A and B are shown apart, each in its own frame.
Chain A
Amino acid sequence: MTNPFSIAGKTILVTGATSGIGRATALLCAHMDAHVLAFGRDPQRLDSLLAEMPGEGHRVFSLDLTSPEQWPSVIASLPVIDAFAACAGVASMAPFSFVTREELERVMDTNCFGPVMLVQQLLKAKKLAKGGSVVFVSSVDGPRIVHAGNSLYSASKSALVGMARNMAIDLAGKKIRVNCVLPGTTDTPMIRTGSADEQQLAETAAHLPMKRFADPGEIANAIVFLLSDAASYVNGTELVVDGGTSII
């Protein structure tokens, strides 16, 4: 009997692959014998990732998801992919009174417009295989819960979920599934971009049901499940991976 959870031999595109959840996902896919196409902005970190990924057939691409003019040449050089894990994201915190249209557009661009339009470009170039899977990394922040000062990020992650649900319906005819993973606070460099210091982060973690933040690898596990054939009838949904945070 074949293992439906296996992703061996699949070609998987991962964005945001040089840090946090994206890096953990790329490494997990490589360890599970998939061929990884890793997108990131930092060439040195991409090289480091490439060196660390076991197996063969991996490639890395340096590009910016907010610069669509960079995409066509890269997409043209890609093989047909079986699955896409959209992990690139940016955090931005400001009380609503200080939210600017410019910053809202910047956050929306990276967290929503970029990954969504990349899927469209892959489809147009016929680089996303029938039976494929798209997984967007959204967040519980926005779709499930909110935090003070986090409206920019929440709006972008909520928009992503709304788009993903509709994409799931529109692409079902192509047998392409589209789902979101909704992580709770995950121990990545992103959570250290705000005003909280290590002590405050530790206090925040202590108030969570499981008394800790998620490890990026725990989010990657959920992403890989949705990428795999084990999730072949899972479409248009959100898999919450937050240690129970959003139900209290």
Chain B
Amino acid sequence: MEMNEFIGNFAELFDDTAPEVFTPDTRFRDLEEWSSFLALAVMAMIKSEYDVAITADEMRSANTVQELFDTVQKYL
């Protein structure tokens, strides 16, 4: 799994946030568009793209794209 590819998949879930906003350090919960629905979408994207089912607790504890990436990476 590559970080750039992960960021691309992550950014695609957002309708109103420009893709260039996203870096490993992006605190996605601070984004205006962030919502519980997007949390669901992130979990579904990770399952669909990487066949990894992260738990709700893991989703809740991740605050940056890097932290989320690391969570997924430990299952691969």
Encode contact with B along A86-122: 1 for CB under 8 Å, 0 otherwise. Answer: 0000000111011010000000000000000000000
Determine the interface band of chain A, counting residues with CB < 8 A from chain B: 10 to 19
Would A94 and B36 count as touching, CB distance under 8 A? no
Which residue in B40, B59, B60 is a CB contact (below 8 Å) of A149? B40
Q: CB of B75 within 8 A of chain A?
A: no
For window 22-76 of chain B, which residues contact chain A by CB distance below 8 Å? 36-37, 39-41, 43-45, 47-48, 56, 59-60
Which residues of chain B have C-beta atoms less than 8 A from A2's C-beta? none
Which residues of chain B have C-beta atoms less than 8 A from A195's C-beta? 36, 39-40, 43, 56, 59-60
Which residue in A94, A148, A197, A200 is a CB contact (below 8 Å) of B44? A94
Q: CB of A196 within 8 A of chain B?
A: yes
Instruction: Tell whether A194 pairs with B60 under 8 Å between CB atoms, given A98-B45, A98-B47, A98-B48.
Output: no
Would A200 and B36 count as touching, CB distance under 8 A? yes
Which residues of chain B have C-beta atoms less than 8 A from A98's C-beta? 41, 44-45, 47-48
Give the size of the chain B interface in residues (CB under 8 angstroms).
13
For window 119-151 of chain A, which residues contact chain B by CB distance below 8 Å? 148-149
Which residue in B40, B56, B59, B60 is a CB contact (below 8 Å) of A95? B40
Closest to B44 in A: A98
Which residues of chain A have C-beta atoms less than 8 A from B47's C-beta? 98
Would A93 and B40 count as touching, CB distance under 8 A? yes
Which residues of chain A have C-beta atoms less than 8 A from B40's C-beta? 93-95, 148-149, 194-195
Known: A94-B40, A97-B44, A197-B56. 12 other contacts (CB 8 A): A95-B37, A98-B41, A98-B44, A148-B40, A194-B40, A195-B39, A195-B43, A195-B56, A195-B60, A196-B36, A197-B60, A200-B36
Binding site for B on A (CB under 8 A): 93-95, 97-98, 100, 148-149, 192-197, 200
Q: List 21 A-B contacts (CB under 8 A).
A: A93-B40, A94-B44, A95-B37, A95-B40, A95-B44, A97-B41, A97-B44, A98-B44, A98-B45, A98-B47, A148-B37, A149-B40, A149-B41, A192-B56, A194-B56, A195-B36, A195-B39, A195-B43, A195-B56, A195-B59, A195-B60
Binding site for A on B (CB under 8 A): 36-37, 39-41, 43-45, 47-48, 56, 59-60
